[in-house]
Structure 1
Amino acid sequence: MAETKQLQVQELARFAQEQQFNEQYRQYFGDVWDEAGVKDISQMTIPDAEQTLKVLADSEASPQFIKSLLAQAAVDGASPQVLEYFLSSDIDGDGRTLAQEIFQDGTNPMEPDTPQPIPKAQALSPSSTEDLEWEI
């Protein structure tokens, strides 16, 4: 499981490197950090991350915004533990982590996905050989 988390952090880091975060982006994301009470991203703690996720959930942030915000956090020095916490969270309680939703599914990590129906087990039809005797 730890290896999966490391791969997710690496995937976020690759995405972050592709971004061109200028001062305008930092100000745009700054509102979220301010509302969450994060003064220095490089000093962010797990409780700070929890508060940030609450702010994002309350603001109905888009998946792209969340992905970019986390990428900006990675660029600005958020610790791997905090990034792992973000990526492994399941805010909407649908059984999919934030990383799975933004990198694999393309779904909104703040809204539960419609659960896929579980295939029902096929009922076995009675065999016409019920009357056979079993020998051991």
Structure 2
Amino acid sequence: MIREYQVRDEYAELQASQNKIEKLKKEVKDLWALVQTCQISIQVLEDIQQGGNDYWFTRLRDAAHRFQEQDKINEKIMNLAQDVAEHVTVLAREARILRPHVVSNEMKASLELLFDQIKDLGIRVRPYLPKN
């Protein structure tokens, strides 16, 4: 009976971890949208054709500034992706520990669904991680 309560507590912790992962996924998505906005802005600047050296100097300076901002955003994405990857790893480890102790079919089904989601998150976060 005590083990069943422990399993339920561990399951609740896994659910909380899953909620954190969902929040991190949203943050990665938001940052990625910001990167794309910067890329579009740079493209618009490059597509504008006006004369004069002052114009081209200003345009070049603005593009350089946008590249710097994009580098900062990319760094945030990389850090966030590493956090997600670490959290997914911990979550998978905890779920594996919990698996042999699950008794009800409903909890087994939920745990299997959670495993599938963990695997999916691991695959989706890989492109954002630094290449070693």
TM-score using structure 1 length: 0.22
Structure number with higher helix proportion: 2
| More relative contact order, 1 or 2 (CA 8 Å, 6+ apart) | 2
TM-score using structure 2 length: 0.23
